[in-house]
Amino acid sequence: MDLTLTTSEQAFRDEIRGWLEQNNPGAAPVAGDDAEFEFRRGWQKTMHEAGFAGLSWPEEYGGRGASMIEQSIFNQELALSRAPMPANVLGLVMGGPVVIAHGDTEQKERYLEPILSGEEIWCQGFSEPDSGSDLASLKTRAVKSNGGWRITGQKVWTTYAHEAKWCMLLARTDPESPKHRGITYFIFDMEADGVEVRPLRQITGEAEFNEIFFEDAYVPDENVVGEVGGGWQVAITTLMFERAGLGAAAAISVSNSLDDLIALIRERGLAEDPMVRDRVARLKMGVEALRLGGMRTLTRTMKAGIPGPEGSLGKWEWASVNQELGELAMDVLGPAAAVDGEEWTYRFLRSRANSIEGGTTEVLKNIVAERVLGLPKLR
Amino acid sequence: MNFDLNDEQRAIKDTARELLASRFKLDKVRELAESGSYDDAIWKEIGGLGWAGIAVPEEHGGQGLGIVELMLLCEEVGYACAPLPLFSSAAAGLVIASAGSDEQRERWLPELSSGQVTAGIPATAPEDDSVMIDADGAAVLAFDRGEGPRLAEPSEVEISGLDLIDRTRRYSQLSGEGGQEIPGEIDWALAAITIAFAGELTGLAQRAMEMAVEYARDREQFGRPIGAYQGVSHACAKMLYDVEEARSLTYYAAWCADAQPESLPLAASMAKARASEAAWDVAAASLQVHGGIAFTWEHDLQFFLKRARVSSGLYGTPRRHRNRVADIAGLGSLEPATA
Ligand SMILES: Cc1cc2nc3c(=O)[nH]c(=O)nc-3n(C[C@H](O)[C@H](O)[C@H](O)COP(=O)(O)OP(=O)(O)OC[C@H]3O[C@@H](n4cnc5c(N)ncnc54)[C@H](O)[C@@H]3O)c2cc1C
């Protein structure tokens, strides 16, 4: 057990730190609009030119072949310096890794580079109106049609669909097969005919996510990732990367938020209030447990090669800590808290999605109970 | 960076798990708890392995390992709910090794480290009634009655037994001011002791969780195992959440005691506060998962539940530790510190 960085890890961290000091563009403009997105796209371009986008991807695909721990150090430094998120998060965290893991040579050549540069944005078309937690029940249909497939159906809650060139699309290619088997994973071109994206406004007021309607929209065979009918496995890989990708960086940004909150508490003269102090202490412990749990998971993942179901615990923990933090901020601010458009108000409202997006807390508890503790399934 | 036990640490933990499981079957725990005693033969064996001196430097007859290793042994003692004067002897060893005079070290450390004698130590601050652990039967007592830390032999002070609901450990109260001063600074040792104790609490929580999970797999109601109901399975998932948070913070704190002393005050308080709460919450939830059976005297969960409840208040209540965490996190008069 050694929680310090090795000399080479330290050198790597210093390199990143130095680079960020020079290049961090500062906070993005007001959340949720196109200007913000373009700002983040520019930032991703800067990162890519310095070789920092897709750090852990193999060199032949434009990455640096960095170890998981280096990737994690990079993410942490990024969060520590409060640099904005790159625009193409979904491509970097899920799309690219899935193409690397399951794609063929042509797909790797075609898709990876523009993910890194931020030129082509990706979105994740998994959830449907009737298929949320029970993703495998999805109904969007893909019907064989000369050299490709015709897609008909609806997706929902699709983050960045309005900015995206490519959609990681799950559709049912064989309605006769058992529900997990008849699904195929497509890389779908959002500029194709027969696709309509409608923004969905969130409780925060912005429209980060969307509905997508497909009406006989064409996707060629070469855009199938993995086997036809083998999409469920590819989807599982995607979700594992999604939960693992949150990891260390998420802990740092919650930790940043807690520091902001502590400053706010002092400013408001509430540093002596025993109730406030107790909640701050609990948050501090939660934030640290999240950071340390992330390090344990990372160590385990590096040994095993792939993230395991324990990652679900971290996602659950993160959602819970972040929500409690938002609530305390609102209590500290008092009646003025609910002023629309305020930074804390936004963070508070946004945190309500944390226990839903990327797997609801209840579903994560099911995974922990069944796959980590070995309890029976309720079927 | 590597946040996992190394091979040696893993071996220490596994060996302790195995040995304690065979010496402290739950029948044995019950027998000792009901008679309010320890088994001298078992202590002779386990003490003889040098566990109490695991973190005492070799020149004083210890094994020269660290707080991580000691904490792991304590975790296993908690897991077994073992009535055993290990923690007290190890804790006294840490105090004497790090703050005792040369004479005190020579006098006590070799015998304590090899388990030939045991020590009694305080478990609460003087203003909280000076509760002592393992004072009766001990050859030496470390204590602090508000005048600074002291070391005494039992004949120099007065000890009166104290019956707490936890009967897997021996508690007492001490009066009098005999003995000699311990000259050195004991802050580090106190933090290390607190962390080792958090290890014990983590072990108690782990076992109480495993008991619940096993029961939830076997017990059937309405035609299926109760673990298939989310009211039960989600309660079990929350137990793992609590146990793993406690473990992350406790292991980290133990590592800080060995390798990163500047983070120790915060880390120790976080570990103790979290592990205390986890031990109680998990034990209480485990009782609920068991239903009526675990409310009976015949059921073994009571030993874990009671030891968890009592232990959570020793070495600083969770409330006091959280207060300290709030200070160090940035609500104190000092500049905010990072972990
Ligand atoms: C901000 C945000 C961004 C998102 N971005 C995307 C995206 O980019 N792409 C995408 O595909 N999806 C996205 N989602 C969708 C998200 O993955 C789903 O919302 C989520 O999986 C839950 O599905 P649902 O909303 O249909 O709720 P449901 O599945 O209908 O759940 C409703 C309630 O029932 C509970 N529940 C359901 N099943 C069980 C069960 N078996 N046991 C216990 N409780 C259960 C849930 O926990 C929840 O409390 C996003 C969601 C949000 C909030």
Residue A263 at interface with chain B, using a CB cutoff of 8 Å: yes
Catalytic residue among A242, A327, A342, A370: A242
pLDDT at B147 over 90: no
Asked, for residue A43, whether it belongs to a domain, the answer is yes
Same domain, A222 and A260: no
Residue A42: give its domain's CATH number: 1.10.540.10
Q: B31 CB contacts (<8 Å, ≥6 apart)?
A: none
Same domain, A61 and A167: no
Domain span at A21:
7-87
User: What local confidence, expressed as pLDDT, does residue A202 receive?
Assistant: 93
Compare CB distances from A313 to B2, B229, B244 and report the shortest one's residue: B244
C-alpha dist (Å) from residue A13 to A5, A46, A55, B304? 9, 18, 13, 44
Query: Both tokens of residue B298?
Result: 């015949």
- Sign (positive/negative) of CA torsion B105, B106, B109, B112? negative
Say what the pTM is.
0.95
Same domain, A175 and A275: no
The helix/strand/coil state of B246 is helix
Residue A187: give its domain's CATH number: 2.40.110.10
Same domain, A285 and A256: yes
Q: Give the pLDDT band of residue B339 (cuts 50, 70, 90).
A: very low
C-alpha dist (Å) from residue A358 to A171, A242, A246, B252? 19, 7, 10, 29
Each domain of chain B, given as residue ranges in start order, spans 7-181, 187-328
Instruction: Among A375, A377, A378, A379, pick the best mutation site for testing chain B contact (most B Cβ within 10 A).
Output: A375
Region B221-247 average pLDDT: 97
* Best mutation site among B230, B234, B238 for ligand 1 pocket (most ligand atoms within 8 Å of CB): B230
pLDDT at B186 over 70: yes
Asked, for residue A183, whether it belongs to a domain, the answer is yes
Counted across chains A and B, CB pairs separated by less than 8 A come out at 164
Same domain, A344 and A260: yes
Assess contact for A163 and A32: CB atoms under 8 A.
Answer: no
Ligand 1, atom 27, lies closest to the CA of A132
Query: Both tokens of residue A303?
Result: 């040994």
The DSSP result for A85-110, as a single string, is PPTTHHIIIIIHHHHHHH--HHHHHH
Residue A264 at interface with chain B, using a CB cutoff of 8 Å: no
Residue A136 at interface with chain B, using a CB cutoff of 8 Å: no
Asked, for residue A216, whether it belongs to a domain, the answer is yes
Pick from A231, A255, A285: which residue ends a domain?
Answer: A231
Residue written as token pair 């968890």: B308
A214-230 burial, b at 16+ Cβ within 10 Å, e below that, comes to beebbbeeebbbbebbb
Q: What are phi and psi of B333, to 5 degrees?
A: -80, -15
Query: Both tokens of residue A273?
Result: 């209030």
Of B274, B134, B120, B305, the residue nearest B194 (C-alpha): B274
The DSSP result for B151-218, as a single string, is EE-GGGSEEEEE--S--SS-EEEEE---SEE--S--HHHHHHHHHHHHHHHHHHHHHHHHHHHHHHHH
Q: Is the ipTM of this complex over 0.85?
A: yes
Quick one: CA torsion of B207, B19, B73, B135, rounded to 10 degrees? 100
Q: What is the largest CA-CA distance in chain A?
A: 72
pLDDT along chain A (379 residues), means of 10: 94 96 87 83 94 90 88 90 92 93 96 96 97 96 96 97 97 94 97 97 90 98 97 87 69 93 96 97 97 91 80 93 97 82 89 95 96 89
Q: A274 CB contacts (<8 Å, ≥6 apart)?
A: none
* CB contact (8 A) between residue A375 and residue B213: yes
Q: Is A242 a catalytic residue?
A: yes
Asked, for residue A261, whether it belongs to a domain, the answer is yes
Assess contact for A149 and A143: CB atoms under 8 A.
Answer: yes
The nearest CA of chain B is from the CA of A264 a distance in Å of 11
Residue written as token pair 């005050």: B265
Of A89, A87, A115, A85, the residue nearest A187 (C-alpha): A115
Whole-number average pLDDT of chain B:
95
pLDDT at B275 over 70: yes
Same domain, A353 and A268: yes
Q: Give the pLDDT band of residue B334 (cuts 50, 70, 90).
A: low
Q: Which atom of ligand 1 is nearest to the CA of A155?
A: 11
* Best mutation site among A137, A157, A367 for ligand 1 pocket (most ligand atoms within 8 Å of CB): A157
* Best mutation site among A357, A371, A375 for ligand 1 pocket (most ligand atoms within 8 Å of CB): A357
Q: How far is CA B11 from the centre of its chain?
A: 20
C-alpha dist (Å) from residue A137 to A59, A168, A357? 38, 17, 18
Residue A334: give its domain's CATH number: 1.20.140.10
Same domain, A224 and A272: no
Assess contact for A246 and A314: CB atoms under 8 A.
Answer: yes
Same domain, A227 and A250: no
B187-328 fold: Butyryl-CoA Dehydrogenase, subunit A; domain 3 (1.20.140)
Of B41, B168, B43, the residue nearest B117 (C-alpha): B43
Ordered alpha helix ranges (H), chain A: 7-23, 34-49, 68-80, 89-90, 96-102, 105-117, 231-267, 274-304, 311-333, 343-351, 361-367
pLDDT at B338 over 60: no
Between the CA of A5 and the centroid of ligand 1 the distance, in Å, is: 37
Same domain, A72 and A135: no
Assess contact for A256 and A124: CB atoms under 8 A.
Answer: no
Q: How many domains does chain A have?
A: 3
Between the CA of A360 and the centroid of ligand 1 the distance, in Å, is: 6
Rounded Cα distance, B28 and B82, in Å = 9
Q: Residue B234: its chain A contacts at CB < 8 A?
A: 362, 365-366, 369
Query: Both tokens of residue B186?
Result: 């004991």
Same domain, A14 and A62: yes
Same domain, A280 and A315: yes
Rounded Cα distance, B98 and B186, in Å = 7
Asked, for residue A322, whether it belongs to a domain, the answer is yes
Between the CA of A225 and the centroid of ligand 1 the distance, in Å, is: 24
Q: What are phi and psi of A86, to 5 degrees?
A: -65, 155
Please list every protein residue whose CB sits less than 6 Å from any atom of ligand 1: A 123-127, 132-133, 157-159, 209, 353, 356-357, 360, 362-363, 366; B 230
Class of domain B7-181: mainly alpha
